[in-house]
Amino acid sequence: MDHVISGVAKFQREVFPGKKAAFKKLANGQNPEVLFITCADSRIDPNLVTQTEPGELFICRNAGNIVPPHSNETGGMTASIEFAVAALGVSHIVICGHTDCGAMKGAINPEGLEGLPHVKEWLGHCRSATEVVKEKCGCTSLGAEHVEQVTEENVLQQLQHIRTHPSVAAKLATGQIKLHGWVYHIASGKIMCYDETSREFTEMDKAYAEESLSVK
């Protein structure tokens, strides 16, 4: 904890003064372009990976970068998505998974979560991902060798879930918002992006970046 506290002191002493004008502007409101939904894993830093500044990303984090399908039961993710889309007017939504995800390992082996009942229930939102991978692999159970496949499929299933949220559905119907599915590879720093045309995850490149900037 000592390095966290000393980090605050360093921020106030060395970082904040150089960005004082930006923080003064942010003190009166925010106008992010992107809703960034990712895992709560401590190894993931959205601003570091995307090289963005405060105020540029509206970030939601939870175990497994999960988006529960819309329902009449209010939850933190539901409220945050609605606020980001309907109130802040974000034009892009990124759902970003990552390699070596503990949540995906738990989704593959729910029997190992008996001592974590809330985690087990939460990861029920990933069941469609595990079932899809089982079907594709032609197997009845999954193991460690399937974690990467489940991670990618989970991103796709959460993209399906977010489409059920009314505010998102409305903006998609009018071309005012664009969805992106990413997987961050911790060891290499690579971002794998889902391509709707090829229906595969491919490494982010200049062509993908340019195409992704436009909201159709």
pLDDT, tens digit (0-9, with 9 covering 90-100), for 153-209: 999 999 999 999 999 999 999 999 999 999 999 999 999 999 988 999 999 976 676
Mean pLDDT of 131-146: 94
Select the more confidently predicted residue: 213 or 63: 63
Kindly list the distances between the CA atom of residue 123 and the CA atoms of 23, 49, 76, 78, 200, in Å, as whole numbers in the listed order.
37, 25, 16, 16, 24
Q: For residue range 112-130, what is the model confidence (pLDDT) as tens digits?
A: 999 999 999 999 999 999 9
Confidence (pLDDT) at 205? 78
Residue 214 has pLDDT above 70, yes or no: no
Confidence (pLDDT) at 206? 67
Residue 210 has pLDDT above 90, yes or no: no
Residue 105 has pLDDT above 70, yes or no: yes
What domains appear along the chain, each with residue ranges and CATH number?
A: 1-30 (no CATH), 31-212 (3.40.1050.10)
Confidence (pLDDT) at 149? 97
Please name every residue paired with 95 in a beta bridge, in sequence order, or none if there are none: 37, 181
